[in-house]
Amino acid sequence: MKLLRMLMVLLGASIIPFFGVGLLKPEVRYATDIYVDIPLAETYFAFADLAGQGMWRSGLNETDTLAFGKPLVGQEVRFTGWHRGQERTFTLTMQAAQPEDTLVIETETSGQRELATVTFTPDGAGDRGTLIVYEGRMRGRTYLHRCFNAFTKGRFREDASSLLYDFKYYAEENLERRPFEEPWEEELESDLEGQGNESLEEIAEPDSLMDQELIDPKALPGGQ
């Protein structure tokens, strides 16, 4: 009898925190980032093309474009694919977009809803690369999902990191890189542009014997 009571106490001590955390943390937050060696504009618009994820997101086997944005907000795409050993359907919707700066993407799947804010910042020498920062907020659609989410926060961050790595590999293999220019080369070009046509005319002025009119020696006094 005492053993049964002890088991009930232990069970209650483990269940109460599990179900209580769903009230304390109805959603979990996580963040990750990655550097992509592609200029900002190309990176931003490639990531903003939700239907294009079918070309680079791992595990997908079917893509259904439900709505096109004009040009970005309003896109809605449904993917079917394998995720952590299970076949799932994901619906992505572009909720907001600030060109070449920020995207807000909603992802819905069975029992879960994620709202991700993705920001893009020029980075690297000559702004030839882009830093992508992914900030996600996951909320379970049921109370039980919210309880589980509080204990599996790291899993969502891993999924976001995997998504960014998939995109990085695709972008650096398929998008156009900007050629690197040394700073002194840019300064030299600027100096030459600043000189204008005046400098060219000064250089072309005849200030040597080769550019002057030749004088006939016979025309000189005492010439033969």
Contact (CB, 8 A) for 70 and 48: no
For the chain, which domains are there? Answer: 25-174 (3.30.530.20)
Beta partners for 133? 33, 119
Q: What is the pLDDT at residue 155?
A: 82
Q: How far apart are CA 80 and CA 62, in angstroms?
A: 5
Closest by CA position to 167, among listed 53, 48, 89: 53
Closest by CA position to 31, among listed 117, 127, 120: 117
In tens, the pLDDT along 38-82 reads: 999 999 999 999 989 888 998 887 777 776 655 688 899 999 887
* Beta strands across the sheet bearing 27-36: 27-36, 129-140, 112-123, 102-109, 86-98, 76-83, 60-67
Q: How far apart are CA 138 and CA 25, in angstroms?
A: 11
User: Strands (DSSP E) along 47-200, which ranges?
Assistant: 60-67, 76-83, 86-98, 102-109, 112-123, 129-140
Mean pLDDT of 148-174: 86
Contact (CB, 8 A) for 75 and 69: yes
The pair of three-digit structure tokens given for residue 35, joined into one six-digit string: 């550097």
- Statement: residue 90 has pLDDT above 80: yes
Which is more confidently placed, 85 or 33? 33
Mean pLDDT of 167-193: 66
- Statement: residue 216 has pLDDT above 70: no
In tens, the pLDDT along 189-208 reads: 554 455 544 443 443 444 44
C-alpha pair distances (Å), 118 with each of 8, 47, 61, 106: 46, 9, 24, 11
Q: What is the pLDDT at residue 95?
A: 94
Contact (CB, 8 A) for 37 and 172: yes
Rg over CA atoms, the chain: 32
The pair of three-digit structure tokens given for residue 215, joined into one six-digit string: 């004088």
Q: Helix, strand or coil for residue 109?
A: strand
Q: What is the pLDDT at residue 172?
A: 94
Q: What is the pLDDT at residue 68?
A: 64
Q: Helix, strand or coil for residue 167?
A: helix
In tens, the pLDDT along 20-29 reads: 554 556 688 8
CA atoms within a 13 Å half-sphere pointing along the CA-CB vector of 215: 7
Least confident of 42-51, 143-152, 209-218: 209-218
